[in-house]
């Protein structure tokens, strides 16, 4: 019995959910992993990292994070800046994760 069909409390501590990627999703992960090692993606990664550094220093309206102006406006812009940073990180993490999945599949298989 595994956690996906066990009665609550029936699963033992060693039962872990297993994800088995289908062939299409694995091919997509392989393509992403391959692309993540190209010069083009390294340029995209560097650009994203530069934009993240910008938004860690400046708000979307160009004002420095450390400054004295309307705190309500600053709070709204801070939320926007953090959202942008999160999206850039998510993009890069998707490709890093694809590479890790392919590496794991190669080891196991």
Give me the residue spans of the domains in the chain: 23-108
Assessment of whether the complete model's pTM goes beyond 0.85: no
pLDDT of 34 higher than 90: yes
More confident residue, 106 or 109: 106
Confidence band for 70, pLDDT divided at 50, 70 and 90 = confident
Q: Given phi > 0 = left and psi -120 to 50 = alpha, else beta, which region is 62?
A: left
* Structural tokens at position 78: 């801070």
């Amino acid at each position: 019995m595994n956690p996906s069909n066990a009665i609550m409390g029936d699963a033992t501590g060693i039962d872990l959910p297993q994800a088995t990627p289908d062939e299409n999703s694995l091919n997509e992960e392989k393509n992403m992993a391959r692309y993540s090692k190209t010069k083009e993606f390294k340029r995209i990664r560097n650009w994203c990292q530069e934009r993240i550094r910008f938004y860690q220093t400046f708000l979307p309206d160009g004002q420095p994070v450390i400054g004295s102006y309307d705190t309500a406006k600053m709070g709204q812009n801070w939320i926007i800046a953090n959202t942008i940073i999160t999206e850039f990180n998510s993009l890069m993490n998707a490709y890093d994760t694809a590479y890790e999945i392919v590496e794991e599949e190669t080891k196991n298989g």
